[in-house]
Amino acid sequence: MALIKTIIIDDEEQAREGVRTLLEGDSEIQICAICKDGIESIEQINEHSPDLIFLDIQMPEINGFEVINNIRMNPLPTIIFVTAYDQYAISAFEIQALDYLLKPFTNARFNEVLERAKSHIKNKTLVNLNNQIAKLLKGIGDSASDSTNQIINEVNNTRPAFNRLVIKASGKIHFVNFSDIYWIEADDYYVKIHTVNHTFMVRESLKGLGQRLDSTIFLRIHNSSIINTRHLKELEPYYNGEFFAHLTNGVKVKVSRGYRNNINSLIDSSNN
């Protein structure tokens, strides 16, 4: 049998190292990633498509339930939930016959849970397990994700920029590269983020979103629009000091007179 690809997810370094140490002695396990938070874990799961995940529930930015809701794998991998306090969640796990580890756990308990998970994988009984996880998420995950918008804002505001936005749209958490964004427009209480492959509707102000963008790339050209200058193809004079900005995707966006200084600064910097 091929090695069981495994990812460890926990915001506590000691917990991550403890699980890693216990797994390293198992010749059937291949550790392909060790993650310290929900955002990193979503990316690593989607990249590696693991067979097995040790997933901490209570992480400070994006919790374990939200991680599951935002991975692309179908069927889901075998998941061993790890928790320190949530007695309600433990009761739900027991009712649904799901595997979990309650911190602090013994080596014997760890090995018991690991062997059961390996049996799921070897015997391909993941369908029932996935159904159980889906039921659990329906009962718990909805309430756990009520604060996701606030969480995403905190992530974007506290983490250094990695040339991307982390946004929630259509019930999913998306990682949007700056280079993929053509332009952004205000739409009542939402903003529309127009990218190469998709348009995202996000409940946020244009001003707030603009503060998280790279100011060397993105330019406010109107009360209701921001453009990615790397996708700016040409400027067409209109009248009364206004312009149209032609983007590389064929879209034409008005530059209002009130933001003409931004355009002048862009032209001056390009000439220097």
* Same domain (yes/no): 140, 181: no
For residue 18, pLDDT over 80 is answered with: yes
13 vs 85: which has the higher pLDDT: 13
* Same domain (yes/no): 187, 74: no
Q: Into how many domains does the chain fold?
A: 2
Report the CATH number at residue 224: 2.40.50.1020
* Same domain (yes/no): 103, 227: no
102 vs 196: which has the higher pLDDT: 196
* Same domain (yes/no): 135, 78: yes
* Same domain (yes/no): 36, 113: yes
* Same domain (yes/no): 247, 220: yes
* Same domain (yes/no): 51, 112: yes
Q: Which domain holds residue 241?
A: 153-271
pLDDT band at 144 (very low <50, low <70, confident <90, very high): very low
Strand partners, 184: 193, 226
* Same domain (yes/no): 194, 251: yes
* Same domain (yes/no): 107, 179: no
* Same domain (yes/no): 227, 266: yes
74 φ/ψ angles, rounded to the nearest 5 degrees: -145, 110
173 φ/ψ angles, rounded to the nearest 5 degrees: -100, 125
The continuous run of DSSP H or E covering 160 comes out as none
* Same domain (yes/no): 110, 198: no
Last residue of a domain, one of 94, 117, 144: 144
The H-assigned helical ranges of 97-229 are 107-122, 126-136, 142-144, 148-158, 206-210
- Cβ contact 198:169 at 8 Å: no
Last residue of a domain, one of 111, 144, 177: 144
- Cβ contact 196:211 at 8 Å: no
Token pair, residue 231, equals 């996708």
Report the CATH number at residue 58: 3.40.50.2300
For residue 146, pLDDT over 50 is answered with: no
Q: Using one digit for the tens of pLDDT, what is the confidence trace for 48-100?
A: 999 999 998 888 778 888 888 888 787 788 888 888 766 645 554 554 445 77
CA distance 57 to 9: 9
Whose CA is closest to 253, among 221, 217, 205?
221
* Same domain (yes/no): 135, 17: yes
CA distance 221 to 181: 15
Q: Using one digit for the tens of pLDDT, what is the confidence trace for 164-192?
A: 888 877 667 788 889 999 999 998 778 99
Last residue of a domain, one of 144, 169, 200: 144
pLDDT of amino acid 87:
60
CA distance 234 to 182: 14
- The answer to whether the pTM exceeds 0.85 is no
251, exposed or middle or buried, with CB in 10 Å at 0-12, 13-18, 19+? Answer: middle
202 vs 160: which has the higher pLDDT: 202
